[in-house]
Amino acid sequence: MAESLGIEVVVFDVLGTMVDEPGGLRAAIREALLASDDALDASDTSDAFDASDVSDASVNELLAVWQQHVELEQRRIGQGHRPYASTEIIDAEAAQRVADHAGLADPAAIARLATAGQRLPPWGDSVAGLERLAQRFPVLGLSNAGRTALLRLNAHAGLRWHQALSSEAVLAYKPAPEVYQFAIDTAGCPPERVLMVAAHSWDLRGARARGMRTAYVQRPVGDPPTDSDLFDWRFKGLGELVTALAVG
């Protein structure tokens, strides 16, 4: 199928598409709560989060604090309200916000939490699917993760790319058009010969606007397509996509 449609290079989103970002962050938050002795002393503060109760609801509440900060700051950067800051910086800010909300005061626990984005687990089909696809096509990772974070994340998750691209190279965050252009320029072929794969419709919309082909892969997390989204393909998993691209 890919050859008949002229696809030469396949580009993957990483966070959420190839690795379980929310799941990894939840695990790191839970670890920080359990590791911090100071958290137990914060429960007498009226507006402090009760970190002694490490329930799923508690962890999800703190995950929302993290996600809201990251989304807000990346949006502010995209709107020109803040100079570019890498995910290492923004994640450290998010970790401190979680710590403040939870009443955590252990510097070591907070510092480890700040690097949680470098230890996200791959989805069950990510490593094998990527390996199979890489036998047939050049495969690129295209992530909002900063250079250092992406390097360590790929190593932790076992993701082996022909090339891993960080949006830090163009000092922007997806869905800024220059990030997709960076991938197209790296691919070295016209955008209609480059397939963007993601579990986030907002990401695919950005890629499509630059002329790239698009494939949505369903994940337990992500941003599902709407009826009005005109993506080239929609798959229930990475294995389905690999099979459709005629990889034996």
Asked if residue 129 and residue 214 are part of one domain, the reply reads yes
Whether residue 40 is contained in a domain is answered as yes
Mean pLDDT of the chain: 91
> What is the CATH classification number for the domain harbouring 201?
3.40.50.1000
- In this prediction, residue 56 carries a pLDDT of 84
- In this prediction, residue 53 carries a pLDDT of 61
Asked if residue 175 and residue 94 are part of one domain, the reply reads no
More confident residue, 57 or 195: 195
Asked if residue 1 has pLDDT above 60, the reply is: no
Q: How confident is the model at residue 155 (pLDDT cuts 50, 70, 90)?
A: very high
C-alpha–C-alpha distance, residues 207 and 38, integer Å: 45
In Å, what is the CA distance from 1 to each residue of 146, 198, 206? 33, 19, 23
Given a contact cutoff of 8 angstroms between Cβ atoms, the answer to whether 9 and 195 are in contact is yes
Q: Which of 78, 103, 118 is the last residue of a domain?
A: 118
Say how many domains are in the chain: 2
Question: pLDDT tens, 36-63?
Answer: 754 455 444 444 444 456 788 899 999 9
Which residue type sits at 242?
Answer: V
C-alpha–C-alpha distance, residues 155 and 138, integer Å: 19
C-alpha–C-alpha distance, residues 161 and 154, integer Å: 8
Asked if residue 200 and residue 172 are part of one domain, the reply reads yes
Report the percent of the chain where pLDDT is more than 90: 85
Q: Which of 118, 139, 163 is the last residue of a domain?
A: 118
Question: pLDDT tens, 85-143?
Answer: 999 999 999 999 999 999 999 999 999 999 999 999 999 999 999 999 999 999 999 99
C-alpha–C-alpha distance, residues 41 and 155, integer Å: 37
Asked if residue 133 and residue 182 are part of one domain, the reply reads yes
Asked if residue 142 and residue 93 are part of one domain, the reply reads no
Asked if residue 229 and residue 159 are part of one domain, the reply reads yes
Domain assignment of residue 105, given as a range? 21-118
In Å, what is the CA distance from 199 to each residue of 14, 86, 100, 106, 127? 9, 22, 31, 35, 16
- Which segment of 4-8, 11-15, 54-58, 62-66 scores lowest on mean pLDDT? 4-8
Asked if residue 239 and residue 128 are part of one domain, the reply reads yes
Whether residue 1 is contained in a domain is answered as no
C-alpha–C-alpha distance, residues 135 and 168, integer Å: 28
For residue 209, the SS3 value is: helix
Q: Which of 118, 146, 177 is the last residue of a domain?
A: 118
